[in-house]
Structure 1
Amino acid sequence: MRVFALRTSNPAFNRYFWKQPKSYTKARMSVSGIILKAISMLCLVTVTAAYTWHLYFNGVATKWHTAIGMFVAIVCSLYISFKHNAAKYLLPIYALAKGFFLGGISAIAHQRFPNVPFQAIGVTLITFFVMFLLYRWKLIRVTRKFRAMVISATVSIFMFYFIGWVFWFLKIDIPYLWGTSWFAIGFNVVAAMVASFSLLLDFYYIDRQVGRYPKEREWLATWGLLITLVWLYVEVLRLLKKLAIRF
């Protein structure tokens, strides 16, 4: 699939995933329904993240909790991508798995740099509301050109990460990804900005689909938002850690 043929950088909002299914219910997607589901899923993330955090600071090795959580979350996302009707069943599992992953990396960050994870949470929440207001007040218009730019940047960033992970497994260091040089910090800043702009694309497509699609599609919309929020948090956490090391 061509990059510019995509409708958004988030797979949950690709046109393929929003094909109109046969439905016998009159209930339609609503903003309140998406908000309620998003809050519920974030609560599940918090539960397992707090549990992993507790284990880590009680001397329990959480390496496997973190690794398995990441693996399960990836598997759930891939399955939802191709079987989007399964979102309402797999999303809670995805949220719990992501909690293990986030709890593990956050605990490690907190041990070395106290309060950095809480700062990252604050920055993520502030960014979310700022992006929402920018979209609602139409201070940034989600045009076709804007979408193409965000999509291209997102694909490029994940390609860099994929290459970085391959080299990491081969024990080859990639300073621009894992280091604390100004270039590495700049890359992190760009990645965090792109993640922020992805929220605008998510808002745009949710806004267009509300009232048109069956209510069960709220699960798919929630999954999309959760993906972007987790990505943004991870980027902010990595950036704050690099800045803490640097300064």
Structure 2
Amino acid sequence: MNRFGLRTSNPAFSRYFWGKNRRYSAKMSLSGIILKSLLMLCLVAITATYTWSIFFEGESVKWHTSIGMFVAIVASLFISFKHNLAKYLLPIYALAKGFFLGGISAYAHKRFPGLPLQAVFVTMVTFFVMLLLFKTKIIVVTKQFRAVVISASISIFTVYMIAWILSFFGINLSFIWGTSWYAIAFNIIAAIVASLSLLLDFDYINRQVGKAPKEKEWLATWGFLITLIWLYIEVLRLLKKLAIRS
């Protein structure tokens, strides 16, 4: 049954993770993915709220933010290669990502009060707009469309990883971290790609619902969480740069 309609750029949704094993009686369900997604978002909110609160109590959250991001990356790498561990590592990923998001959101709120709330609002509006476009088939994902989004996503993540590594050597790429119009344009492109990745996630979940084993819901949740958090980060960074220039 076709409930959505595309394929995703997330590694969690590649064919590698979806073996056609017909031995399982329980199959992936949309309600199962929604429930797990809500649970993981609650875990994200718990550690994000904690980091936020201690920041405004005067404590430094630099290590919370940095270690949170590092642990989230490591957990994702393990899930990528050991997908059977997703059910155990996804909560760790969510908690670690919460520390990271809480830190960057607190920094943004201190300088521009209310900015993180605006980013959350824009992210949720974008999510529902993408879902509407998907359900009404206003945007139909073809193989070419899918290839473009996947290529763009990989390119953006590669640039971010290079920039992150260079930052340890005191080298900052201004077109990413700066507030020039080039940096803002890069942010806009990244936010658009993240939005389109939601369409791909919706489609692939739709294709696998009722077919893939029940346990693969954890992988589906992981992939969806990656895209949603990525979108929030891009929106937050974009709003912050625009606020600085205004």
TM-score range, shorter chain: over 0.9
Question: Structure 1: which 5+ residue stretches go unaligned?
Answer: 1-6
| Aligned equivalents of 1:22, 1:78: Cα separation in 2 | 27
Q: Which residue number corresponds to residue 113 of structure 1? A: 112
| Aligned equivalents of 1:45, 1:147: Cα separation in 2 | 29
CA contact 2:8–2:203 (8 Å) conserved in 1: no
Output the amino acid matched with 2:187. N
| Aligned equivalents of 1:156, 1:112: Cα separation in 2 | 30
| Aligned equivalents of 1:163, 1:64: Cα separation in 2 | 21
Q: What is the CA distance between 1:74 and its match in structure 2?
A: 0.8
CA RMSD in angstroms, aligned pairs only: 1.2
1:18 aligned to 2:30? no
Deviations 1:63-91 (A, max 9, x none): 11111111111111001101111111111
| Aligned equivalents of 2:9, 2:168: Cα separation in 1 | 26
Runs of 4+ in 1 over 4 A off after TM superposition: none
Output the amino acid matched with 1:15. R
Q: Which residue number corresponds to residue 36 of structure 1? A: 35
| Aligned equivalents of 2:85, 2:21: Cα separation in 1 | 13
1:69 aligned to 2:68? yes
| Aligned equivalents of 2:78, 2:11: Cα separation in 1 | 12
Output the amino acid matched with 2:12. A
Q: What is the CA distance between 1:173 and its match in structure 2?
A: 2.8
| Aligned equivalents of 1:67, 1:237: Cα separation in 2 | 17
Q: What is the CA distance between 1:8 and its match in structure 2?
A: 3.6
Question: Structure 2: which 5+ residue stretches go unaligned?
Answer: 1-6
| Aligned equivalents of 1:159, 1:68: Cα separation in 2 | 20
Q: How do 1:144-163 residues align onto structure 2 when only pairs under 5 Å count?
A: 144-163=143-162
Q: Which residue number corresponds to residue 96 of structure 1? A: 95
| Aligned equivalents of 2:171, 2:163: Cα separation in 1 | 9
Q: What is the CA distance between 1:127 and its match in structure 2?
A: 0.7
CA contact 2:8–2:199 (8 Å) conserved in 1: no
Q: What is the CA distance between 1:22 and its match in structure 2?
A: 6.8
CA gap of 1:239–1:69, structure 2 versus 1, over 3 A, is same
Q: How do 1:201-220 residues align onto structure 2 when only pairs under 5 Å count?
A: 201-220=200-219
Deviations 1:26-80 (A, max 9, x none): 1111111100110111011001100110010001111111111111111110011
Aligned residue pairs, count: 240
Scaled by the length of structure 2, the TM-score of the pair is 0.94
| Aligned equivalents of 1:162, 1:82: Cα separation in 2 | 19
SS of 1:46's partner is helix
Asked which structure has the greater RCO (Cα within 8 Å, sep 6+), the reply is 2
Output the amino acid matched with 2:59. V
